[in-house]
Amino acid sequence: MSQIALITGVTSGIGEAAAELLVKNGYRVIITGRRKERLVAIGDKLKLQHNGRVHTLHFDVRDKSAVDEAILGLPEDMADIDILINNAGLASGFDPVQDGDAEDWDKMIDTNIKGLLYVTRRVVPGMIERKKGQIVNIGSIAGREVYPNGNVYCATKHAVDALTKSMRLDLLDKGIRVSQIAPGAVDTEFSVVRFHGDESRAEEVYKAYEPLHAADVAETILFAISRPPHVNINDIFVMPTAQASATAFHKDAEDTW
Q: From CA 218, how far away is CA 17, in angstroms rounded?
A: 6
Long-range contacts of the stretch 122-125 (C-beta < 8 A, 24+): 122/67, 122/68, 122/71, 122/72, 123/6, 123/71, 123/81, 123/84, 124/84, 124/171, 124/176
Q: From CA 33, how far away is CA 54, in angstroms rounded?
A: 14
Question: In the chain, what is the straight-line distance between the N-terminal and C-terminal CA atoms, in Å?
Answer: 40
Amino acid at 80: D
Q: What is the CA radius of gyration of the chain?
A: 18
Q: Which of 118, 153, 206, 209 is catalytic?
A: 153
Is 153 assigned a catalytic role?
Answer: yes
Do the Cβ atoms of 90 and 62 come closer than 8 Å? no
- Residue 19's contacts (CB-CB under 8 Å, 6 or more residues apart) are 7, 10, 29, 31, 42, 46, 54
Active site residues: 153
